[in-house]
Structure 1
């Protein structure tokens, strides 16, 4: 389990399976991985999920049924999916995608452990940012 370097494999093919809700990553060596959209979503590299430092992560819940509605390449180094819940700020580098693909089971356990530790249900809706009555304050 070495750290990923500049020779991180780049998938030769990326297939969005909307019905089974998995992202299939195929690599030149013939291996292919299926990464659930939910895992991609809860491990989004975006600031709103990861926070701006350790311990500031926002635990993501209610993402079991999330789908990917669009996928944009970012240069030659990443993909930027738009999820059905409107989340679109995660830039998934090839490093991260490969890590999610190859460490899927461990990451999944880690996510479930975090939910258990926080006593949060996996399917709980995310609490919306505090905007009373749904209107931002403009004072």
Structure 2
């Protein structure tokens, strides 16, 4: 039971940390060096909203796990963690290098928000998988 509580607290803290990461910038760049009409390389609003929804769901699952004292709800946090980590990996691997090729003088680099969100997604995925394993052992 103590393991379930620890996993639920880890999931809740990771979800809140990811929420903080959403408020932080996700790219360092010099706007004056981007070509006219180029999109800003920061994570756009649509992807931020998807990540916020996934993090809110993960937080709700962690709270439900703490209230029920069972690991089954938290197991679904792995899906939200995979979604957040997938969005951020796509953003880091595809988007930033593409912008950098268009405007190398802009010196586009990932900022703190991108790394916080990626870490949050990975922690949520790990806690979800650990909760699923704990629920499977309890049967």
TM-score by length of 1: 0.27
Which one has more relative contact order, counting CA pairs under 8 Å at least 6 apart?
A: 2
User: As a proportion of its length, which structure holds more helix?
Assistant: 2
Bigger radius of gyration: 2
- In proportion to residue count, which structure has more strand? 1
Please give the TM-score of this superposition, normalised by the length of structure 2. Answer: 0.27
